[in-house]
């Protein structure tokens, strides 16, 4: 009597919908970010891109997709990070199975942004691996650990911001003003960091204010300075109206120093550009 054979299908992975035991390569991308545009940070940025490119390509079970990156961008919000947004869009479109990044703070310092993005990716079958904390988002304890780490990263960012603001306020209270001497027309750095008038450049600044009082526009002033070959603050000879306007609206030329809270800076700049 012939035996009855019952065929049992392979179990299916609940996230990827592929049979367990198959050797399909995972499509892997990496995310790198540095939060300032200082030279040493940009070197770190390039090192991260190079590291993760080799890290992914050296795994036989992984297929390299890309390294998405943002340089000189803050991690407290995902709104202005083009590389991050592109990565998420590609992942949701089905082009990525796994995202590798250095740490939770590199991914996002904002707890809400971090968890919202991770849950959205998880629903689409995309996993995120945080190398420094050794956390995989598909693990049962992954979301809890990410919540804790994201909260710590967000608090660290807030603390750094407050300390930076306090330091700025203290310098202003002590009468110490930091200016970009290399591009500050009319002044040079003194022995103790104080402002010292550069008479040759100062004459150009006085002329600009004089022309303004005669009714000339920033565009007209810029055109005249360009025609005369007068060097710009950056050492060039082609003036633009924006450069002239920034000098004419700079309160430091009348001996004042204006300090604004960060959330007011954008509004002030918009008002200045209307002049």
Shared domain check, 138 and 48: yes
Shared domain check, 190 and 265: yes
pLDDT for 106: 74
Mean pLDDT of the chain: 76
pLDDT for 69: 86
Rg, Å, the chain Cα set: 28
Write phi, then psi, for 62 (nearest 5 degrees).
-120, 150
Residue 73 has pLDDT above 70, yes or no: no
Whole-angstrom Cα distance, residue 201 to residue 193? 19
Domain total of the chain:
2
- What pLDDT, in 10s, does the model give residues 167-178? 666 666 666 666
Q: Return the structure tokens found at 134.
A: 């050794």
- What pLDDT, in 10s, does the model give residues 18-52? 555 556 789 999 998 876 544 444 457 778 888 89
Domain CATH for 70: 3.40.50.1390
Whole-angstrom Cα distance, residue 246 to residue 256? 15
Residue 142 has pLDDT above 50, yes or no: yes
pTM to 2 decimals? 0.48
Domain interval for residue 76: 26-155
Residue 12 has pLDDT above 60, yes or no: no
């Amino acid at each position: 009597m012939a035996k009855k054979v019952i065929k049992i299908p392979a179990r299916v992975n609940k996230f990827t919908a592929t049979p367990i035991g198959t050797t399909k390569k995972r499509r892997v991308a990496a995310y790198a970010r540095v939060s300032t545009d200082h030279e040493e940070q940009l070197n770190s940025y390039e090192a991260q891109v190079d590291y993760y490119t080799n890290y992914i390509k050296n795994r036989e079970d992984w297929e390299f997709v890309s390294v998405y990156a943002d340089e000189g961008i803050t991690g407290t919000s995902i709104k202005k990070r083009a590389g991050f947004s592109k990565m998420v869009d590609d992942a949701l479109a089905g082009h990525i199975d796994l995202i590798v990044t250095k740490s939770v703070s590199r991914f996002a310092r904002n707890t809400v942004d971090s968890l919202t993005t991770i849950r959205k990716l998880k629903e689409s079958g995309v996993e995120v691996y945080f190398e420094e904390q050794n956390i995989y988002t598909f693990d049962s304890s992954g979301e809890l650990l990410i919540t804790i780490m994201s909260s710590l990263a967000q608090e660290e960012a807030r603390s750094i911001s407050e300390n930076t603001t306090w330091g700025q306020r203290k310098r202003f209270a002590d009468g110490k003003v930091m200016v970009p001497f290399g591009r500050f027309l009319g002044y040079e750095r003194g022995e103790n960091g104080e402002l010292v008038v550069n008479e040759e450049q100062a004459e150009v600044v006085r002329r600009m204010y004089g022309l303004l009082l005669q009714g000339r526009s920033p565009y007209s002033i810029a055109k005249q300075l360009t025609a005369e070959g007068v060097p710009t603050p950056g050492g060039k000879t082609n003036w633009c109206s924006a450069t002239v306007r920034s000098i004419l609206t700079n309160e430091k030329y009348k001996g004042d120093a204006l300090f604004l809270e960060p959330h007011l800076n954008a509004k002030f700049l918009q008002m200045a550009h209307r002049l």
